[in-house]
Structure 1
């Protein structure tokens, strides 16, 4: 079923949805963040929150009942904590929607009310289906339960974002190779962004760099940069800044100005350079930055992995030990 049909069916059963909770781990909880950000900014009535899966399991919010929708996500569908959270949410009477790329996974067998199987391996755009579908679900919840004036603009954005991603990734390999050559020997790299893209910085830091490249990393909101982290800035300290189009761009710009002032080693991935607002209405462009910038960063990470002779699939502990 499509997101619109799923939310319509839920509304036919329960007209008084009071809360929507996003649950996942690692990159998956980061992929759900743009949807959470969208609802937090636009919903007037529905309570919105997100939980890393095991915190949901051990400190389950009291709002989980028949008046709530829980969206769980796990790329391969085998994350034990997320599977448990799905089962728990179901037992508490919530409407559970699960996102995964594996239709026969443990997450699917946890029997959510709705299972959405997304793509991943076909191309760079398919890697962003989980994030985009979660946002589509959030848009449908808002529009169907409260109404949303920019609904058509969001639909137009959904129709354009995948093509824009594929066009953009084809143009950036030279820059990605340069990034890889420049950063391959760094012992630590810091990541920053704001708005809906905040957790792109988070996921890049903890997954692509710490997990997949064994490079020490930190990440923080660009607005929080001046409340502690900027003290480590000096010449040559490596940063990656994800620049948004939209309302929070001044926050990113302020951070960039400071990094350049003290000659930090900074790479800027700017959605504006790829024509995001030329394709998508300025009224809703904020919510599409994360998809585009995640895809761009994935190309950079692949080139870094090749330059370091360290495949993105290489692990020291994950999938090898009991933990």
Structure 2
């Protein structure tokens, strides 16, 4: 049985990183595709809370071909790949190592090529339940929490640890309770050729992942991803009667941005669906000061159910592809 990396393991890992690089100044989150989008929440958390620690999220091949100046001995680089075989991500670990960075592989497979040049490996779940679909995000966030605490201290540290302990049960609860609404969603949107997605704050990564990988990659549905705040600065011109939208609604600080977009959908009779983090009782189990950072994990689990029902309604399996896994060098 695979042993997945625990929060205690992450803390020990960070302690080792700090002992090797007490001058640590920056952290990079690197990946491709869905793995790249799943690092968004950890990046957002650090950008919101760090005073000194510099943080960047960068696509793996951009990292390889356009080395950031901060990628040196004062940096730790976390590279994610579910299978651990994505060549751009494997190369990113090797390059980071060559540039003097400490390297962390974040993967489902402990002995995959991604781990070959990595100083440390985080092994996450994926297939066990709906919460495991967000396990990569959870481990990236847990690692970010430990890095921030170690480098400069964080006054909400215990609240984040408490949230990490309960978020899996909340995510599975959410997935169990959206099955009927997910079926309705599948029927409602099965013939759409385009679905616009809106999200804000830490949930933008979930929106990006849903647009690019669930809708475009897995269902061949065109799907622009819009920031809820930016929606009113151009994109709202396309909101007309029955224009199709999916809105991920925050349970935290940026909820007003999402609510404003929802009001506009209603005003102009758009065809919309809302997946609202507040429906899943996060605020009763996770402190309101940090609940934002757990929204993406719960929404990821819920959205997986929506994706499954959409694929059934369209008679288009989530595994069906035109090009991926079929063409070499792409």
Pick the TM interval, shorter chain. over 0.9
SS in 2 for 1:306: helix
TM-score, normalized by length of structure 1? 0.98
1:46 Cα deviation (Å)? 1.0
1:216 Cα deviation (Å)? 1.1
SS in 2 for 1:269: strand
* Residue among 87, 90, 98 paired with 1:83: 90
Structure 1, unmatched stretches of 5+, are none
Output the CA distance in 2 between the equivalents of 1:117 and 1:55: 24
Output the CA distance in 2 between the equivalents of 1:8 and 1:104: 23
**CA offsets per residue over residues 120-142 of structure 1, 9 Å max, x none?**
01111111110000001111111
1:65 Cα deviation (Å)? 1.1
Output the CA distance in 2 between the equivalents of 1:278 and 1:301: 27
The match for 2:131 is: 125
* Residue among 184, 191, 194 paired with 1:178: 184
The match for 1:17 is: 24
The match for 1:307 is: 313
The match for 2:210 is: 204
CA contact (8 A) 2:115 2:121 kept: yes
The match for 1:74 is: 81
Q: Paired residues, what number?
A: 322
Output the CA distance in 1 between the equivalents of 2:174 and 2:42: 23
Output the CA distance in 2 between the equivalents of 1:256 and 1:16: 46
SS in 1 for 2:300: helix
TM-score, normalized by length of structure 2? 0.96
1:276 Cα deviation (Å)? 1.0
Output the CA distance in 1 between the equivalents of 2:226 and 2:60: 21
SS in 1 for 2:224: strand
The match for 2:15 is: 8
* Residue among 248, 263, 267 paired with 1:261: 267
1:104 Cα deviation (Å)? 2.5
**CA offsets per residue over residues 30-54 of structure 1, 9 Å max, x none?**
1101000010011010111111011
* Residue among 308, 318, 322 paired with 2:324: 318
SS in 2 for 1:201: helix
1:281 equivalent to 2:287? Answer yes
Output the CA distance in 2 between the equivalents of 1:106 and 1:246: 38
* Residue among 248, 252, 257 paired with 1:246: 252
Structure 2, unmatched stretches of 5+, are none
Output the CA distance in 2 between the equivalents of 1:305 and 1:114: 37
SS in 1 for 2:129: coil
The match for 2:42 is: 35
Output the CA distance in 2 between the equivalents of 1:178 and 1:46: 44
Output the CA distance in 1 between the equivalents of 2:162 and 2:142: 12
1:170 Cα deviation (Å)? 1.0
CA contact (8 A) 2:133 2:300 kept: no
Moved beyond 3 Å, runs of 4+? none
* Residue among 187, 192, 195 paired with 1:189: 195
SS in 1 for 2:39: helix
The match for 1:271 is: 277
1:45 equivalent to 2:52? Answer yes
Output the CA distance in 2 between the equivalents of 1:258 and 1:225: 10
1:220 Cα deviation (Å)? 1.1
1:94 equivalent to 2:101? Answer yes
**CA offsets per residue over residues 19-72 of structure 1, 9 Å max, x none?**
111100111111101000010011010111111011001101011111101010
**CA offsets per residue over residues 79-110 of structure 1, 9 Å max, x none?**
1110100100011111111111112222122x
Output the CA distance in 2 between the equivalents of 1:146 and 1:201: 31
Output the CA distance in 1 between the equivalents of 2:15 and 2:76: 13
* Residue among 112, 115, 132 paired with 2:121: 115
1:143 equivalent to 2:149? Answer yes
